[in-house]
Structure 1
Amino acid sequence: MTAVSGTVSFEVLVVGVGPAAAAAGTATALATAPYDLVVSAGIGGGFQPAAPPGSLVVADAIVAADLGAETPDGYLPVEALGFGRSVHLPPPDLTAHAAQALDALIAPVLTVSTVTGTADRAAELAARHPRAGAEAMEGFGVAEAAALHAVPVLEIRAISNAVGPRDRAAWRIGDALAALTEGFGKLVPVLNGWGDHG
């Protein structure tokens, strides 16, 4: 996003699937042009019942949910290993205004390298991140690249399916994409205001 004379202009980029591709694509874009904000947006799985299919989630924390180590005593995030970080925090005021405009849930969005496909894995993630609203595969990579360039980041996910056992027949990708498209129309005034004052 670039603010021009009080009006926000956008550039839409497809940066790939997964945190590595998303980080590389975002970093390349940020190295070649000035931006005031990066918005990571797409579809994802929703933690039930808070984020049903067809709803939107705006991240108040972008979490690398599987960046760490498994130990006999349980999972350790990368910070507990003595290096790195596993959480980025979008600007709280922008998050709140975006969620209000989109009628979206404000909650952490988990970035995973492997999509959850079992009830056990869903329960494990929910226990470790009890406020989580959604899981996806790109947000943390985008946020890492944005942080390296000192550019704030926002993540928005439209829910296409429930986090848990894979049930392709229940996926609502069309509904999720429609919700995301409609949501971006409502987001423009928020970004215009934030571009003036953010």
Structure 2
Amino acid sequence: MRVLVVTAVAPEAEAVGAADCGAEVLVGGVGPAAVAARTAVALAAGPDRRGPYDLVVSAGIGGGFAPYAPVGSLVVAETIVAADLGAGLPDGGWLAVDELGFGRSGHRPPPELARAAVELTGALYAPVLTVSTVTGSAARAAELTGRHPRAGAEAMEGFGVAEAADLHGLPVLEIRAISNAVGPRDRDAWRIKDALTALTEGFRRLRPLFEGPVPRSALSPSKES
């Protein structure tokens, strides 16, 4: 299959490229808006002599929710959740955008593809949260886990990539290598180099998946609202 991997920044793209997994890599920018725009433009460029894309993958480093996703581990998204797209309530509650009647708050990657990626990489299979502001406090981490108790990771681009892929009728995966724990911001504790190494190894292990045919179950991307 022909795969487009979208990362936020160049070091992540270089880590994926070092895996020699057969995918094309796009640096899409930081945050859901920038990456959605650049992914949509790349997909809209149209098929070339090698044909159109079959799969889009959002990839990079991210924060892991303890104890499920320790630093250096991988997470494959079971669902890609727009975790801060909605409305806060006076009592501290939260309404997701779909609960407000506007759009959707998540995408569910094709389970057959996602589980194959999990089996090849040994990754955790769990929801990945897309946020516009990286979590920097225990209170914010508790808020997120209260709403998403099974969350494995947070990052800033997955939902944007998924929206662009969906516009083109393409299946999407999200794969995150964990560089830090979600919670109080401690930049000295981040292990970006270790996470990038894990990202390279993970994509190296994904080569058999990318070289295979597109599963029929992936031809109609599923949505999570």
**Which residue number in structure 1 is paired with residue 88 of structure 2?**
70
**Number of aligned residues:** 194
User: How far 1:195 sits from its partner (Å)?
Assistant: 3.2
Task: Provide the TM-score with structure 2 as the length reference.
Answer: 0.83
Deviations along 1:121-140, whole A, 9 cap, x unmatched? 00000010000000000000
* Closer, same or farther: CA 194–48 of 1 in aligned 2, 3 Å: farther
Amino acid at match of 1:30: L
Question: What residue in structure 2 maps to residue 81 of structure 1?
Answer: 100
The structural deviation recorded for 1:157 is 0.1
Q: Structure 2: which 5+ runs fail to align? A: 4-20, 47-51, 219-225
SS in 2 for 1:99: helix
Deviation of 1:11 (Å): 1.2
User: Per the alignment, in what secondary structure is the counterpart of residue 195 of structure 1?
Assistant: coil
Counterpart of 1:49 (choices 63, 67, 71) is: 67
Cα deviation code 1:97-134 (max 9, x no counterpart)? 10111010000000000000000000000010000000
**C-alpha contact 2:113 2:215 (8 A) present in aligned 1:** no
Question: Where does structure 1 differ by over 3 angstroms across 4 or more consecutive aligned residues?
Answer: 194-198
Candidates 38, 51, 54, aligned match of 2:56? 38
Q: What is the root-mean-square deviation of aligned Cα atoms in Å? A: 1.4
Superimposed CA distance per residue, residues 25-68 of structure 1 (whole angstroms, 9 cap, x where no aligned partner): 10001001321100100000000000000000000100000000
Instruction: Work out the CA distance in 2 between the residues paired with 1:120 and 1:71.
Output: 17
Identity level (%): 72
Aligned to 1:26: 39
Q: How far did residue 194 of structure 1 move? A: 4.2
Helix, strand or coil for the counterpart of 1:79? coil
Structure 2 letter corresponding to 1:148: L
Deviation, 1:10, is 2.0
CA contact (8 A) 1:94 1:194 kept: no
| Paired residues of 1:41 and 1:157 also in contact (CA < 8 A) | yes
Q: Name the TM-score, length of structure 1 as normaliser.
A: 0.94
SS in 2 for 1:43: strand
Query: Which residue identity lines up with residue 52 of structure 1 in the other structure?
Result: P
Greater share of helix: 1
